[in-house]
Amino acid sequence: MTLTQEGRHLVNEDPEIVLHAAHSSDLPDVHCMGLYAVLGDHDFITILEAPDNEAAARFSLELGVKVGVEIQTVPAIPVSRLDHKIEWPPGGQDTPNSSDLEEGEV
């Protein structure tokens, strides 16, 4: 989340507004699991659990309106779900040779 100008004013008046807004969602199937202030391109990172991307988007919209933030949503899956083995081409190469690529491929 990145604060808008309005959001910066709201946070200045009430530093806990983001925390209160994230935990007062009207969406019973979406749970805020963590909220972190960060340095860099974004001001806050929220970790939430939602049944699907649509529910996460509704939460993001609701939070954006309440607090005055622009939200970038990044769906994530647990690494443990990446349990299939990657099959490399014969010869054990990690990446294809340039001769293996069709014209225009990178």
Predicted local confidence at residue 12, as pLDDT:
95
Q: pLDDT tens digit string along 25-49? A: 889 999 999 999 999 999 999 999 9
CA distances from 49 to 11, 82, 84 (A): 24, 19, 24
Distance CA 63, CA 70 (A): 9
Predicted local confidence at residue 97, as pLDDT:
56
Domain boundaries, the chain: 2-74
Predicted local confidence at residue 95, as pLDDT:
56
Q: What is the mean pLDDT of residues 91-98?
A: 57
Predicted local confidence at residue 82, as pLDDT:
83
Closest C-alpha among 39, 40, 54, 44 to residue 21: 44
Closest C-alpha among 22, 12, 1, 16 to residue 66: 22
Residue 5 CB neighbours (<10 A): 8
